[in-house]
Amino acid sequence: MGSCIICGASTDGRICDLHEEDVVFEFRGDRPDQLTADRFYRGTVDGYAEFGVFVDIGDSVTGLLHRSELDQRLESLDWEAGDTVFVQVTDVRDNGNVDLTWSIRQSEAEFRGTLVDDPDQGGPFVKDEESEGGESGAGTEDADDPRGAPETASDRTTGQSTGDDAGTTAAGAGSGAATTAGTESTGSSESAAVAAGAGAVEPGVEEPAQVVVDSLADRVGETVRIEGVVERARQTNGPTVFGIRDETGSVECAAFEEAGVRAYPEIGVDDVVRLDGEVRERRGEIQVETEALVVLEGEDRDAVEERLAEALREQADPGSVDPLVEDPAVGALTAELRAAATAVRRAVLEDRPVVVRHTATADGYVAGVALERATLPLVRDHHDQHDAVYHYFDRRPLEEGVYDLDDATRDVTTMLDARERHGEKLPLFVFVAVGATRDSLDGFQLLDLYGADRVVVDDVAADPEVPEAVDALVAPDPEHVTDTTATALTANVAAHVNDEVRAGVRHLPAVSFWEGTPEGYVAAAAEAGYDEDAAREVREAVALEAFYQSYEDKRELVTDLLFGDGDGPGGLAGHVSEQFREKLAAEVETAEANLDHQTLDGVTVAVLDTDAFTHRYEFPPTALLLDELHRRHRAEVDAVVGVSDDELHVRSDAPLDVRDVADRAREWVPDAGITATNARDGKLEYVAGERSAVLDAVVDVIADELA
């Protein structure tokens, strides 16, 4: 019979059952079946696989730490082969496979003792006992080593930890008695200490100083009080770890009930709390060891919430709007630009991912990258993880200028999976060059049902229903529509999301205009090293690459194209733009030879059968081809129509409302199922069997509208 190295209780061996998970074992066996489940072991990283990390336990046994057992993403681990790590054995299978799980404690000093697990010695022993033949006797540990010193009854009652483990402060052992502020606590002395620490202070006991999170680095070793909101709560194999945010920042607070047992089960995410605890530094990070934690109610809660809200508003608001250049389209939308920039900045500060949805066009990609360029540095500054930019910012191109239920369903599935598996908050969705028309309302409503915020930045006038369906909208006034691009608007948003990228995005608006670029943007691009030819080459290159793998963000490739410092004809953009011109010229030549010009009441409409006279599924896409035909032939035709089996696209300088065209054509062909599915891009759909009748009806309606 020996004594437990932690509590001194009589036990077989060197550790009692209650404290076995508080120590780490050094394994000296040579077979998997000699390991003991639920024990923590020191190991060595052997290597990575797609599904996890292989860890050597001792010299002869290897286990698998599956990615599902990690408290972070596998790719964010900074372990390298040969690194010492600490893991828990969860299972030893009949076939010899060893299953491991993650340990929040990743240094030997964070355990309350170290024992040697040597099957040949008949049981665990303290390493210092090797000189004594591995005998299990009390009193052989170093009295000055806090990991081996027995815990006294006084230590357990007063709440002072004898160890160095973030989760073993005995004050946290009374956490099951968590109450709301001011509620009397009954039970053990530990519970009384908890109530006293957060509510009324016991006579003669000095109340901890209330401080803010960003001052904690200067208070290591002090017992302090913080008030804030619980951002996250995760249960480890040792303590429960709460992430608490106040008006100045966030900090992790460890609370210990017993190994693997949820401390303060009544307290959850979004609760407003008051916490007393000792400030410590672990592995270079500030952490608070919880001594008392309570939920605030009533006026106390309201005061904290207001402080946090006001601080967040001030930090997120970029202040006054200073446009990149003088631009009437931007000048008319300063309040809207500020609101959109504030929404993005606030999402970053609240640890919410920012998801940008943009069309797979040159304008969509350039606008999306402008926002990406501004947001990524904020994400890097706000998060410690080296891969945070891949988790807290995502750019997802859309095939068309509509956000439909298919797109929304995919996004909702992804965000709910991220919340379930990784505890991520619901993202902010920013729609760029998409979303201003009512065609996207179904998708917006699905996001709204889950509470995901929505921002729209589009260069077309918004339908009346859209402002009520989103949280912020940047779009031209329907009564004062000015020629602009989504990039011109989004680049100005980006400059206010992050003022430090202002100079770096000044040339992007000039890249997005196919014609009629405002002089201010031409001059800004020239100052940045992009003359008109260079801007054209970049635009054409992005348009070509936007077509291929259109559902991918192509972050690095598009960044190279847009920020290559005007690399000229011999550079990447020049090379890709040459391919663009060759492919487009070949398609335009075929299309022009097969345009069917129809004139009614003095109105000429050029019709192209896109099924018969284009190469389907090859560059250029139908929309881009029709845009080019319209630019080339606007002098002699009033509209260009592209028609296929079940789709029809309209291009015209006249203010044609494709929904009105669909409504009137439907009267003439009531059984064709004519629907304006993308009013933003002038697209109609219908049943293939009525194609000829639909084309005739649409041409007649256009001629009548433009006559």
Domains and CATH numbers, the chain: 2-151 (2.40.50.140), 156-310 (2.40.50.140), 328-574 (3.90.1640.30), 594-706 (3.10.310)
pLDDT per position as a tens digit, 523-556: 999 999 999 999 999 999 999 999 999 989 999 9
At residue 423 the predicted structure's pLDDT band, cuts being 50, 70 and 90, is confident
Average the pLDDT over 384-391 and give the result.
73
Q: How does residue 177 score in pLDDT terms, banded at 50, 70 and 90? A: very low
- Which residue, among 281, 235, 284, 271, has the nearest Cα to 255 in the 3D structure? 235
> Helix 532-547 vs helix 519-527: angle between axes, to the nearest 10 degrees?
90
Joined tokens for residue 629: 């035909």
> Over 60: is that where the pLDDT of 391 sits?
yes
Handedness of CA 582, 583, 588, 589 (dihedral sign): positive
Per-residue pLDDT of 606-652, as tens digits, reads: 999 999 999 988 999 999 999 999 999 999 999 999 999 999 999 99
Which residue type sits at 477?
D
Read off the pLDDT of residues 207-235 as tens digits, 9 standing for 90 and up: 899 999 999 999 999 999 999 999 888 88
Query: What pLDDT shows up at residue 458?
Result: 96
- For residues 474 and 496, give the distance between their C-alpha atoms in angstroms, rounded to a whole number: 14
The pLDDT of 31-57, averaged and rounded, is: 89
Confidence at 260, pLDDT banded by 50, 70, 90? confident
pLDDT, tens digit, for every residue of 566-597? 555 568 999 999 999 999 999 999 999 999 99
At 133, is the pLDDT very low, low, confident or very high (cuts 50, 70, 90)? Answer: very low
Instruction: Report whether pLDDT(673) > 50.
Output: yes
DSSP character string of 574-616: HHHHHHHHHHHHHHHHHHHTT-EEEEETTEEEEEEEHHHHS-T
- Residues 86-104: tens digit of each pLDDT: 999 999 988 888 999 988 8
Residues 6 or more apart from 421 whose CB is under 8 A from it? none
Q: At what angle do helices 298-316 and 334-349 cross, to 10 degrees?
A: 120
User: Which tokens belong to 391?
Assistant: 């988790």
Q: What is the DSSP string of 83-120?
A: -EEEEEEEEE-TTS-EEEEE-S--SGGGSS-EEEE-GG
Predicted confidence band at 205 (pLDDT cuts at 50, 70, 90)?
A: low
* Predicted local distance difference test score (pLDDT) of residue 171: 35
pLDDT band at 405 (very low <50, low <70, confident <90, very high): very high
Helix ranges (H only) for 462-609 are 466-469, 486-497, 502-505, 508-512, 519-527, 532-547, 555-562, 572-592
pLDDT in tens, 497-511: 999 999 999 999 999
Strands 603-609 and 639-643: parallel
Q: What is the pLDDT of residues 425-435, one digit of tens each?
A: 899 999 999 99
CB 535 within 8 A of CB 509: no
Residues 123 and 228: their CA atoms lie apart, in Å, by 47
Residues 263/268/270/274 CA torsion (nearest 10 deg):
-30
Whole-model pTM over 0.75? no
Q: Assign 641 to helix, strand or coil.
A: strand
Provide the residue type at 198 as one letter: A
pLDDT for residue 330: 93
Residue 169 pLDDT more than 50?
Answer: no
Q: Show Cβ contacts of residue 107 under 8 Å, excluding neighbours closer than 6 positions.
A: 86, 283
Return the closest-CA partner of residue 364 out of 403, 328, 404, 390: 403
Q: How close are the terminal C-alpha atoms of the chain, in Å? A: 104
Q: Give start and end residues of each alpha helix (H) in 392-465.
A: 405-422, 441-449
Higher-pLDDT residue of 169 and 415 is: 415
How far is 308 from 570, CA to CA, in rounded Å?
53
- C-alpha span between 164 and 111 (Å, rounded): 7
Q: Which residues lie across from 114 on neighbouring strands? A: 24
Tokens 């540095």 sit on residue: 377
How far, in Å, CA of 256 to CA of 250, rounded? Answer: 20
Instruction: Tell me the percentage of the chain whose pLDDT exceeds 70.
Output: 86
Mean pLDDT of 493-497: 97
| pLDDT at residue number 186 | 33
**Backbone phi, psi, residue 482, to 5°:** -120, 140
Neighbours of 532 (CB within 10 A): 12
pLDDT above 60 (res 454): yes
Which residues does 343 contact at the CB level (< 8 Å), separation at least 6?
316, 428, 430, 453, 455, 471, 472
| 81 compared with 275, residue with greater pLDDT | 275
